[in-house]
Amino acid sequence: MKTTAPERVDLPVSGMTCAACARSIERTLANTAGVNRANVNLATNTATVEFDPATVQVRDFVGAIEGLGFGVPETAAPSDAAERGYRRRLIVAAIFAAPVVVLGMSHGMLHVPYSPWIQLALTLPVILYAGAPFYLAAWSALRHGAANMNSLISLGTGAAFLYSVVETVRGRHEVYYEAAAVIITLILLGRTLEARARGRAGEAIRKLMDLQPPVARVLAGSVEVETPVDQVRAGDIVVVRPGERIAVDGEVTQGESAVDESLLTGESMPVDKRPGATVFAGTINSAGAFRYRATKVGRGTLLQQMVELVKQAQGSRAPVARLADVVSGYFTVTVLGLALGTFGVWLFFAPFAVAMVNAVAVLIIACPCALGLATPTAIMVGTGRGAQRGILIKGGEALEMAHKIDTVVLDKTGTVTEGKPRVTRVTVHGAFSEGTFSEGTFSENDVLRLAASAERYSEHPLGKAIVEGALGRGLTLEDASEFSAQAGHGVRARVAGHEVVVARPGATVTIDGVAAGAIEIADTIKPEAAEAVGRLRAMGIDVWMITGDGAAAAESVARQAGIERVLADVLPAGKVAEIRKLQAAGRRVAMVGDGVNDAPALAQADLGIAMGSGTDVAMEAGGVTLMRGNLNGVAEALELSRRTMRIIRQNLFWAFAYNVVGIPVAALGLLSPMLASAAMALSSVTVVTNSLRLK
């Protein structure tokens, strides 16, 4: 039977105001046939669903969400639009609520004729316009047998308002219009501040999306044509001038320049680009003009992949949030019961109005908004901050696991070392250096230049290292003739009248049949390796190095990097076994690697950290990807995780404490509805603002 690959969709959701809303939608989607996984994020107003397209369709999810009383707009409303909407209603509410408060709190001292009727007239715009979204959402939820935060707000303010209307008609003066008006005003104030803060929390992903220019200069024959970036195709030749932003990924075909890749990788130094070099969408060309062939366009570019990864991470949930999810799922119904109980108990000891006011205070103070925002806002800011530093964290689970890591295992090649051979030393044999041959003396540069000239057409990694070593010293290579290569033995060529032989694997250079010198080639450690290892050890983390190389070579590299624990002569399958041994000893292990052979170990480890300079397979297997390929990123990622988890715990503590303390205080009649609404609004803003400290 043919199986269908699972698909994933992100749906914008409107009308969510609290954790109970998100929990209700998530539970409904998760119970839909054909859905593998559903996650609803209150901070991003997004529902993410992984499903079997052969069983269920996106329209079914839309129907389910709308059936609960929420909306699924065609496009997600930007945070600034949400903020503007709240601000408009807030202004109207504040203008009309202010005189209501003056009249209501004067307790007759102002002697204003028809004061209750004036308060009614002033409160109506607050109820009918400013508070309309709360009432409409509550009614929609009620029609579908659900209850959420809008239900609590609507019941609280509605009860105060309707009671006051009845008392006004009866000619009484004990009215509570100011409670209804001020509660709505304060809640709108909280929502406005919260929307602004949540907008700041999502800045990172917007900045990433804004990096790609809208048009590219594509070469059509000999003419440069400005083409919308979504119409650029793989194979097109794109022209880039100084100061311009690169439109799509590609390979340089002509020209040289330096490119600022800091906004993608966090690396501050510009990267030199020559023909054959790879360039990425969103990076900035610093100096020279060049042309490049488009290789990846649309969603295939590294920039768009980063955006997608950050979106997924920000829409994910950390395991620490599960308790909050469970609590919020039962919260609204529980609060309604507590409010009803408060009302009933107070009726035995006080007038109806007092019982009603205390019940309203319970309804308002119990808002679980802060609970629902505690985790996702911190994850949004944390993963966004990581992306700005070139650290891609795939989700809340990886973020939470990272802070528990006590052991880091580093692959050697490409992780601790540069991953490619480099010329480390050139020696000249005595006869040549003393000039006993008719050609005169030979310096180190002479030997390297002749060897590199002979190797310039070689595809062997050691030959390429010799050529790069010569070019790195600024040497000019000669033309070579009579070139021949023997697998495993080296190359032979005639250069500037000399017969030059470069032997493998020791890179001994023979000129005209006489041993002239030797070129030492090694895979050198990364310049930041020792510093990075020191940072990890300062964090209380054990650092190991694992490699398939022999013990002698491995120990040499480990000493230079300051690593004391080395696992050498380990095959790829053996790496997995070594990780398991550490885990069996009770360690929480992060594996850091960059090659295809590291992928199984990355998957086995509690946390896989892939170096972005490595392969796509390694990046796919890792829970964290370091775009720079800089080893310091390992410590940065773990430090970021620790800070983020600390913020999440603080948020959850204050969100729970707020409700645990606030509800009994309100039920005992010690908290007015207005103070309750102010405290409720403040709690949500506090949680989001606390998360913003990660920036």
Please name which of 504, 470, 498 lies closest in space to residue 482, comparing C-alpha atoms: 498
HSE on the CB side for 256, CA within 13 Å? 2
Torsion of CA 372, 373, 375, 381, to 10 degrees: 160
* Residue 411 annotated as catalytic: yes
Please name which of 513, 532, 522, 517 lies closest in space to residue 637, comparing C-alpha atoms: 532
**CA angle, 132 then 133 then 139, to 5°:** 90
Tokens for 2, please give them. 């043919």
Burial class of residue 430 in the structure, from the number of CB atoms within 10 Å of its CB (0-12 exposed, 13-18 middle, 19+ buried): exposed
Contact (Cβ atoms closer than 8 angstroms) between residue 426 and residue 520 = yes
- Continuous H helices in 389-417: 396-402
Which residues face 519 on adjacent strands? 426
The CA distance from 422 to 427, in Å, is 15
Write phi, then psi, for 178 (nearest 5 degrees).
-65, -30
The CA distance from 378 to 79, in Å, is 17
- Which residue bears the tokens 């959420």? 148
State which H helix or E strand residue 13 sits in.
Answer: none
Which residues face 593 on adjacent strands? 610
Distances (CA, A) of 99 to 70, 128, 219: 34, 17, 67
Q: How many CB atoms lie within 10 A of CB 300?
A: 14
Contact (Cβ atoms closer than 8 angstroms) between residue 414 and residue 630 = no
Please name which of 248, 373, 383 lies closest in space to residue 303, comparing C-alpha atoms: 248
- Which residue bears the tokens 């239900």? 151
Please name which of 375, 27, 367 lies closest in space to residue 190, comparing C-alpha atoms: 367
Please name which of 403, 255, 259 lies closest in space to residue 318, comparing C-alpha atoms: 403
Name residues whose C-beta falls within 8 Å of residue 520's C-beta, 6 or more positions apart in sequence.
423, 424, 425, 426, 427, 507
Q: What is the DSSP annotation of 133-152? A: HHHHHHHHHHHTT---HHHH
**Would you mind telling me the total number of residues written for the chain in this entry?**
695
Contact (Cβ atoms closer than 8 angstroms) between residue 125 and residue 96 = yes
Contact (Cβ atoms closer than 8 angstroms) between residue 489 and residue 463 = no
Interhelix angle 149-169/177-201, rounded to 10 degrees, is: 160
Q: Is the peptide bond prior to 505 cis by the omega test (within 30 degrees of 0)?
A: yes
Contact (Cβ atoms closer than 8 angstroms) between residue 40 and residue 310 = no
Distances (CA, A) of 606 to 178, 405, 406, 444, 616: 55, 8, 11, 49, 20
Contact (Cβ atoms closer than 8 angstroms) between residue 405 and residue 607 = yes
**411, 446, 549, 594: which is the annotated catalytic residue?**
411
Tokens for 365, please give them. 């103070």
DSSP strand pairing (624-626 vs 607-611): parallel
Give catalytic residues, as residue numbers.
Answer: 411
